[in-house]
Amino acid sequence: MKNEVLSNLYKLKPDVKSQISSAPGYAVFSNVNINIIFASFGGGYGVVTNNKTGKHMFMKMGEVGFGIGLGAKDFRAVFVFHSSNTMKRFVEDGWAFGVQADAAAKASDKGTAVGGEATIDNITIYQLTETGLALQATVKGTKYWKDDSLN
């Protein structure tokens, strides 16, 4: 999953390859998100790669939010950590809060999705939508944690 997501991201934004290789580390997550009128729920898995040591930390994620939305989408997220402390804090604490507004109507290579790129707390985040039909504007909290069964 990680290699496929990175390959797709590099096709869309070739300059990200050098950004990732020069960063202390990065993470790639797969997430499925469901929006039902006033609530949003999601979950997934991923891996954090430390570029200095070459070590991998396998992680899980869950999210819940509230706002207005309807639909479901399957998307991938790439986090580029611009400092070792930020990466360590992400692995150890794993919380993220944010506001999300997006629209997606995509199946395979057909359709379109608006996701994008954001830089928050010394982390650049890229989102790529795989499939889904969703329209949402939510405030959400996401928890990332180490996958004890894989580490």
Instruction: Give tens-digit pLDDT for 112-136.
Output: 434 555 657 789 888 887 654 545 5
The number of CA neighbours under 13 Å toward the Cβ of 134 is 30
Choice between 114 and 50, residue whose per-residue pLDDT is larger: 50
Choice between 110 and 125, residue whose per-residue pLDDT is larger: 125
- The dihedral region occupied by 67, where left means phi > 0, alpha psi between -120 and 50, and beta the remainder, is left
Q: Which two tokens stand for residue 38?
A: 């006033």
Q: Length of the chain in residues, anyone?
A: 151
Give dist(CA 103, CA 115) in Å, integer.
7
Question: pTM score, two decimals?
Answer: 0.80
